[in-house]
Structures are given as structure tokens and as C-alpha cells.
Amino acid sequence: MEKLFTKIANAVAHAAGKPVTFVICCAVIIIWACSGPLLGFSDTWQLIINTSTTIITFLMVFLIQNTQNRDGAALQAKLDELIRVGEAENRFIGIEHLSEGEVEQFRALCEKAANAHEEKQKHNARRVGLA
């Protein structure tokens, strides 16, 4: 069941992002709007577009969220593997599971380390320039 949902979610998300899908949706809206005078702008005429767009939006939210969740998890796994095999610190693996405050602490540590590294490079450049 999960594999089937994944296949459907991927297909729908892929199709929803195509320009032709946007053009089709615009055409449907134009046809609906042009049919208004023919149907006397009735309550049923309004209900058709309101109900249709609500249902489509409701379903798309879940499909797109599912796709984004999987993409984010796959990207995180790839980054974790790069950290693991590289010279980066392994303590950063899995920080996406921490609270926002804990992640902010890690970000501050990274920023501090980057600034220290930059200062060291500037110092070395000045030393080489003086030699």
C-alpha cells in the first residue's frame, strides 16, 4: 500500500508541476467563468467550482507534503553519509531530530567555527604577504 501511495504521490506531484497542468487549470476556470451567464450565475454554478477547488487543494496538500517529506529525508541521509565518510564532525549526524533551540546552538557553533577559520586564513595570508 505504501509503495502504491508513493508511486501515485510522485506521479501527481510531477504532473502538477508541469506548465501544461497550469494551462489546463486556467482553461477550466475560463470555461467555468464563461458558462456563468448561460447558467444564470446560479448557486449550483458557484458550488461546482468551490467544491472542486477545495477537494483538489485538500488532496494536493497531502500528496505534496508526502513528496517533500521523502525528498527531505533522502537529502538528509545523503548529507549524513557525506559527513560520516568525510572530515566533518560525526556529531552533526541526526541533528534534524533535535529541537529548534538545539539546532540553533549547532548553527551558532558552525558560524563561530567558520569565523575562526576565516580569521586564521586572513592571518596566514598576512604572514605570507610579509615574508
Work out the pLDDT band at 55, boundaries 50, 70, 90.
very high
Q: What is the pTM of this model?
A: 0.59
Q: How many CA atoms lie within 13 A of 8 on its CB side?
A: 9
What sign does the CA torsion over 29, 32, 34, 40 have?
negative
Confidence of residue 30 (pLDDT cuts 50, 70, 90): very high
What's the mean pLDDT when you consider all of the chain? 87
In the structure, what pLDDT confidence band is assigned to residue 130 with cuts at 50, 70 and 90?
low
The predicted pLDDT at position 66 comes to 87
